[in-house]
Amino acid sequence: MRNGKGWDRGLPAAGPGRTYENREDDVTDAHQIPRPRTGIWLIGARGSVATTALTGAAALAAGLHPPTGMVTEAAPFGPCSLPPLDSFVFGGHDTVSCPLPKRAEILAEAGVLPHGLPSALHAELAKADTAIRPGAAAGDPRGEEELIDTYAADLTAFTREHDLARTVVINVASTEPHPPHDAPLPPSSRYAAAALRAGCPYVNFTPSTGLHHPRLAEAARTARVPFAGRDGKTGQTLLRSVLAPMFAQRSLAVRAWSGSNLLGGGDGAALADPAAAAAKNAGKERVLADNLGHLPEGEVHIDDVPAMGEWKTAWDHIAFDGFLGSRMVLQTIWQGCDSALAAPLVLDLARLLARADEAGLTGPVDGLGFYFKDPDSGPGDLPGQWRALLGLAQRLTPGGERAATGAARGGDGPEAAAAVVGEGRETVTTLGGDGSAAPPDQGGPATARTGEAR
């Protein structure tokens, strides 16, 4: 192991005006990478968020930058025994073929990644590139069973080839429109079904359907792995989850809450489709309804402005009444680099889901609303979500999970917890003839309820 990372040995982080020339001094020898290692499988692996997450993990593992923006590097998560970033091995699916080193160079030219970083990490990026398998877009002529099988086989092969303890699947592909009622499974749902079939923890960082498809309801209910979603909360909705509770707690009457987003990049292009934008906006509105108790007047608009590249400006206009009907307005402007906001959250979620799987949690993981616009459970306000996340951190702390796991499995010692570690690798979930998802152990008890230990 290294004697501390470059930046915490008193060396300033590399960055603008600083080079990565002496990087070799900080690089972990391949033979020293800690085991067991954790696979991170990114759906949309060549996209901006995925490339930033992957490059960022390699930069942090090499000690080139401090972990700014990574919540799981903060003190409360120290005892959780989360997998270290230098134990991550990346792979994924995508429908485009631009090699990762080239994609990272493009992001550096756009100012998302520091200049020089893609070339300093060329070897890591090229290696991850070899583990990206072809995905399939909507309308692919192959049947959905064949596609799910192919994806699940890709996941199993990746996990075996790299001798990984587990592989966490994270959807960071382009946002899809919500599918019509009787349509075939959309691509995001096929990938989600494949993750369960291969026994992999699953995260949906996008507003796409994923596991929320009615035909996957049974597979989700009986999943023997943990999962979480959906749609990462990185900007406008993050701010809404802080401000909306303030209005409610101060008994101010919000009359209208309107928002506008200008963004470029691949996400901006995908969201130029009104159906995809509608999927995104549903989460932005939910946070208001959850916190205010009603949905105020006002809409959210998303405009694709290619000239803005990877940057986003989000404007909110909140009209509210105070004492004796006094009319007031709050306006906020959030200007952010989308991928730089999203990538550390993707890495946090990868670590938390890997640890949740190791600790034996199955089903939707309680306590992750902090990260999502449209979470499966928990409070809608950010302070409440932070407290819930700290509760999860406690449950994930070795020893903390024993009581829950032991109780659920009828045991009460550390052995009961240890017995479930690694379980689920061979879980097979099949789609029934009617397309409904069904677990292989049909006769067995349903194991998945919210955050339940398997």
Nearer Cβ to ligand NAD (48/72)? 48
**Which one, 113 or 341, has the nearer CB to ligand NAD?**
341
The torsion angle over the Cα atoms of residues 185, 189, 190 and 195, rounded to 10 degrees, is -160
Smallest distance, Å, CB 160 to ligand NAD?
22
Closest distance to ligand NAD from the beta carbon of 215 (Å): 18
Count of alpha carbons within 13 Å of 360, Cβ hemisphere only?
26
Q: What is the DSSP letter of 200?
A: -
Which region among 80-88, 93-101, 213-221, 318-326 touches ligand NAD (by CB under 6 A)? 93-101
Structure tokens at 327: 């009319």
Q: What angle is formed at CA 104 by the lines to CA 348 and CA 84, rounded to 5 degrees?
A: 30
Q: Does 231 bind ligand NAD (CB under 6 A)?
A: yes
d(CA 42, CA 135) in angstroms, rounded, equals 11
Let me know: does 295 contact 323? Beta carbons within 8 Å: no
Region of 94-102, 245-253, 323-331, 381-389 interacting with ligand NAD (CB under 6 A): 94-102
The contact pattern for ligand NAD, residues 28-57, with x = CB under 6 A and - = no contact, is ---------------xx-xxxx--------
Q: Which of 60, 61, 71, 173 binds ligand NAD (CB under 6 A)?
A: 173
Of 410, 342, 411, give the one whose Cα is nearest residue 373: 342
Q: Which residues pair with 319 in a beta bridge?
A: 256, 329
Question: What is the per-residue DSSP string for 305-339?
Answer: -GGGTTEEEEEEEEEEE-GGG-EEEEEEEEEEEHH
- Judged by CB under 6 A, the chain residues 297 through 356 that form the site for ligand NAD are 338-339, 341-342
Q: Which is nearer to ligand NAD, 319 or 345 (CB)?
A: 345
Cβ closest to ligand NAD, residue 33 vs residue 272: 272
What is the SS3 string spanning 355-423? HHHHCCECEECCCCHHHECCCCCCCCCHHHHHHHHHHHHHHHCCCHHHHHHHHHHCCCCHHHHHHHCCC
The secondary structure element, H or E, covering residue 274 is helix 274-292
Q: Which stretch binds ligand NAD (CB under 6 A): 92-100, 115-123, 242-250, 386-394?
A: 92-100
Radius of gyration of the chain (CA): 22
Sole binder of ligand NAD in the list 174, 222, 281, 397 (CB under 6 A): 174
Q: Which stretch binds ligand NAD (CB under 6 A): 64-72, 228-236, 252-260, 442-450?
A: 228-236
Q: Which is nearer to ligand NAD, 165 or 343 (CB)?
A: 343
Nearer to ligand NAD, 27 or 341 (CB): 341
Output the CA–CA distances (angstroms, integers) from residue 181 to 105, 213, 252, 328, 447, in the order listed. 41, 9, 39, 42, 28
For residue 433, give the amino acid letter.
Answer: G
Q: How far is the CB of 237 from ligand NAD (least distance, A)?
A: 9
Q: Tell whether residue 94 is a contact of ligand NAD (CB under 6 A).
A: yes
Bridge partners, 302 (sequence order)? 261
Is residue 206 part of the contact set for ligand NAD (CB under 6 A)?
Answer: yes
Question: Considering the complex, what minimum distance in angstroms separates the CB of residue 430 from ligand NAD?
Answer: 22
Measure the CA angle with vertex 275, ends 295 and 175; round to 5°: 95
259 near ligand NAD (CB under 6 A): no
CA–CA distance, 158 with 89 (Å, rounded to integer):
9
User: Of these, 1, 74, 96, 289, which contacts ligand NAD (CB under 6 A)?
Assistant: 96
265 and 358 Cβ atoms separated by less than 8 Å:
no
Cβ closest to ligand NAD, residue 144 vs residue 338: 338
Q: Which of 93, 197, 395, 402 binds ligand NAD (CB under 6 A)?
A: 93
- Exactly one of 87, 156, 167, 175 binds ligand NAD (CB under 6 A); that residue is 175
Q: Does 164 bind ligand NAD (CB under 6 A)?
A: no
Contact between 89 and ligand NAD per CB under 6 A: no
375 scored as a contact of ligand NAD (CB under 6 A):
no
Q: Which of 6, 177, 187, 378 binds ligand NAD (CB under 6 A)?
A: 187
Task: Give the span between the Cα atoms of 184 and 215, in whole angstroms.
Answer: 10
**Using CB under 6 A as the criterion, which residues of the chain lie in contact with ligand NAD when the complex forms?**
43-44, 46-49, 93-96, 135-137, 172-175, 187, 205-206, 231-232, 234, 265-267, 270, 338-339, 341-342
